[in-house]
Amino acid sequence: MTRRTLLIAAYLAIAIAILAARPPETPGPIARDFEAFWSAGAAYNAHVDPYSASIWRFERTVPGVDARREGALPFIDPPPTLPAWSLAARTPYATAAAIWMLVLVGALVGFVIVSLRGAATSLRATNLLAALALAVAFGPITSDMALGQLALPAAFGAVALVVWARRSVLIATLGGVLAFAQPNIVPGLISQLGRNRATAAITAAAALTYLLGAAVAGWNWPAAYARAGAAHGAVERFSAIQLTPAAIAYGFGAPPNAAVFVAIVSAVAAVAAALLIGLRIRDGFARFAAWSVLAPFATLFWHEHDLLVAFPAAVWCARNAGARARTLALAGTMLVAIDWLGLAQRPGGLAQSALLAAAAWCAFAALCEGVGSSLRVAGIAVGALFAGAAVLALAHPAPVWPAAMQAFSAPVHATVAQIWLAQQRATGLYQPVASWAVLRALSLLGCALLAVAIYRHSSYCRTA
């Protein structure tokens, strides 16, 4: 199959997935998670604490929110983002959401271009089209776009810092400020400490982020934000929407203490693997990509859309890894690209998910500039796994907040974290269901395979 054939197949699959295989839409506002951002800005404009339960006063006014049965959706982004949300909240929600979607589209294009440059790849049309198709078919990225999340601009900022640090510390610093807006993006940047210009950019970005936060939330905002984040992380620790080792272990039936122990062991192993990769790989972008895919194993809070951090690793491996490592990378890319839990949450979207998975395979192969027998075998294996997962998902459907939420009641004067916990329980997301744990574990397996692929490449290519 030629690159042109692969690209035509990828874009055809994407077009059918978007235009003809769309599942029924979940009731709710446009860009569901942007609801919390816009409402936080509105609360800030009204001199109300956006991290409190009072944010519901503003969320209930968002078009599409069912104020009769929903509760507060917590705002958990750091205070330095509040000026942006304050500006957004000065326009009606629909207008702000439309503008935000345009911002996300721009961030997507930038993310693709800078990832290609980080992988030492020319920006000729075939490479751009292949990487863009892979991004559109990449489940975490499409989830980020659909939800209106902040992870995509933050990831763009992170790769911009890594790639541009040698050319412009100013641009790299601005990228770092974007990256610090999403804490889950930051672990990958730790791999750049030691590169003089990158270290300077990270330091400057951290200082600017702190000063911006101090301007809107006081000098002690990091401590206050850490407490708010810890409270929210605690109530979601074992929820089915979490992709952390602790949540997955709990889903398999492990008691809470045992699940926490699994998380500790996983974090230690991930840190050890990151240090080993850091010692073996000299290329800064490859180190960043590897550390980014190891981050989910060492953090306490990780949603499906946060897995977009695996995209740079997928692009780098497609363009630089040898045959064996590339096969591992294809399998890892496919495992991350598919929203496995989404198969159970949206059974009506199985056809769309299958088409996007096929598009991701074609796009990865096009980036590789050819399809070897090993890539075909890996694709067939993932296809068979998808079929089995689809059967499992249909047999054990998973609920979606707030559509599946039963009546809930929160204690009087409850914190926003306590209200969110009550909603999680009322939706059924705290059930320890092994099939849901299996589906989520596939995503983490994909991250592990991408890290192994980068490490294996280093064993026979010292410049990688």
* Domain carrying residue 133: 3-19+27-460
Q: How far apart are CA 313 and CA 339, in angstroms?
A: 18
What letter does residue 91 receive in the DSSP assignment?
S
* Helix locations, 299-349, DSSP H: 311-320, 323-337, 340-345
The pLDDT, as a whole number, for residue 458 is: 58
Q: How far apart are CA 193 and CA 201, in angstroms?
A: 10
The pLDDT, as a whole number, for residue 456 is: 82
Q: How far apart are CA 201 and CA 188, in angstroms?
A: 14
Q: How far apart are CA 204 and CA 37, in angstroms?
A: 26
Q: How far apart are CA 169 and CA 197, in angstroms?
A: 6
* Stated pTM of the model: 0.94
CA 49 to the chain's CA centroid: 27
Q: Compute the C-alpha angle 342/347/353, nearest 5°.
A: 60
The pLDDT, as a whole number, for residue 464 is: 30
State the burial class of residue 25 (Cβ atoms within 10 Å of its Cβ: 0-12, 13-18, 19+): exposed
Domains in the chain, number: 1
Encode the chain (464 residues) as per-residue pLDDT tens digits.
688 999 999 999 999 999 988 887 777 888 889 999 999 999 999 999 999 999 999 999 999 998 887 788 999 999 999 999 999 999 999 999 999 999 999 999 999 999 999 999 999 999 999 999 999 999 999 999 999 999 999 999 999 999 999 889 999 999 999 999 999 999 999 999 988 899 999 999 999 999 999 999 999 999 999 999 999 989 999 999 999 999 999 999 999 999 999 999 999 999 999 999 988 888 899 999 999 999 999 988 999 999 999 999 999 999 998 878 888 999 999 999 999 999 999 988 999 999 999 999 999 999 987 666 677 888 888 899 999 999 999 999 999 998 888 877 777 788 999 999 999 999 999 999 999 999 999 999 999 999 999 998 754 443 33
The pLDDT, as a whole number, for residue 371 is: 63
